[in-house]
Amino acid sequence: MGVIHFHKYQGTGNDFVMIDDRLRHFEGENTPLIGQLCHRRFGIGADGVILLRNHPDYQFEMVYFNPDGSQSLCGNGSRCALHFANQLGMAATSSQFLAVDGPHHGFIKGDMIHIKMPNVAVIEHPDEAYFVNTGSPHYVKIVSEVDQVNVVSEGSAIRYSAAYEPAGTNVNFVEVQGDHLKVRTYERGVENETLSCGTGVTAVALALSAQGFSSPIPLHTSGGKLMVSFRSNEKGEFEEVYLIGPAKEVFKGTYQY
């Protein structure tokens, strides 16, 4: 029998099992264990598992697993990871850390965690929707009433469509509500709607800049409010992209398996 010491975090309702793995005890290749930890009936319950590890060139390394064991960049998870690393004394309020897609910068200002996201050179607009890669692939569709969308049914159909084989894509539905955007997301790897998706709202903000929205853009998710700031260069590429929002420790404990 094994024992895992964990901290449970949430960032606008996107929740994570956070593990201090500086001693490298966690079995990262144990996909069933990851799924078990994330299970909301038989485990702790989460949208993903995040390990914090030491790294010789950065203040910390964040290793993120979806419930199915796959790895990807997670924007909200990165905000929670920076907060947790700061609490552990691994990171200062302004830090460089490593994620699956490469290095990132983040800083804490009051209650808000600012995470620098990857630069985006291309936003595809093949049909009525947009496609943006913000460290994870995202399909962005503008709808008139986002609360009426069957996110799981419509999202999974797009996620598994031939156009995005073999890896699939995350799917975002967005409604323009005055000066802000309301977003609902179907997440690949979770295979369900989540209350919030950091890389998703980042993709939505950059895509909707083509509709006249300028930085910083406020976005409302089912789990709370986020902000995305950015600037575009002379080539129309997006730089200095920051995802901004809160991160909170909910509880901590031990899990036996």
CA distances from 137 to 90, 164, 186, 214 (A): 30, 9, 12, 22
DSSP states of 4-45: EEEEEEEETTEEEEEEE-TT--S-TT-HHHHHHHH-TTTSS-
Domain segments of the chain as ranges: 3-117+247-256, 129-245
Q: For position 28, what pLDDT does the model report?
A: 85
Q: Which of 77, 81, 76 is nearest to 59 (CA)?
A: 81
Architecture of 129-245 per CATH?
Answer: Roll (3.10)
Q: For position 169, what pLDDT does the model report?
A: 97
Q: Which helix (H) or strand (E) holds 85?
A: helix 75-88
**Count of other CB atoms within 10 angstroms of residue 13:** 15
Q: Which residues of the chain have pLDDT under 50?
A: none
**Count of other CB atoms within 10 angstroms of residue 256:** 7
Query: By the 8 A CB rule, do 68 and 191 touch?
Result: yes
Of 19, 52, 73, 74, the catalytic one is 74
Q: For position 210, what pLDDT does the model report?
A: 85
Active-site residue 80, yes or no? no
Burial of 166 (0-12, 13-18, 19+ CB in 10 A): exposed
In degrees, rounded to 5, the angle at the alpha carbon of residue 201 between the alpha carbons of residues 208 and 37 is 160
Report the C-alpha gap between 131 and 141 in whole angstroms. Answer: 9
Report the C-alpha gap between 71 and 31 in whole angstroms. Answer: 11
Residue 158 three-state SS: helix
Taking phi first (over 0 means left), then psi (-120 to 50 degrees means alpha), and beta for anything else, what does residue 33 get? alpha
Q: For position 35, what pLDDT does the model report?
A: 97
Report the C-alpha gap between 60 and 81 in whole angstroms. Answer: 9
Query: By the 8 A CB rule, do 174 and 141 touch?
Result: yes
CA distances from 91 to 11, 75, 107, 203 (A): 18, 17, 10, 27
Of 90, 158, 197, 247, the catalytic one is 197
Q: Can 3-117+247-256 and 129-245 be said to share one CATH topology? A: yes
Report the Cα 236 to chain-centroid distance in Å: 24
This prediction's pTM: 0.95
Q: For position 236, what pLDDT does the model report?
A: 87
The domain defined by 3-117+247-256 carries CATH number 3.10.310.10 = yes
Active-site residue 38, yes or no? no
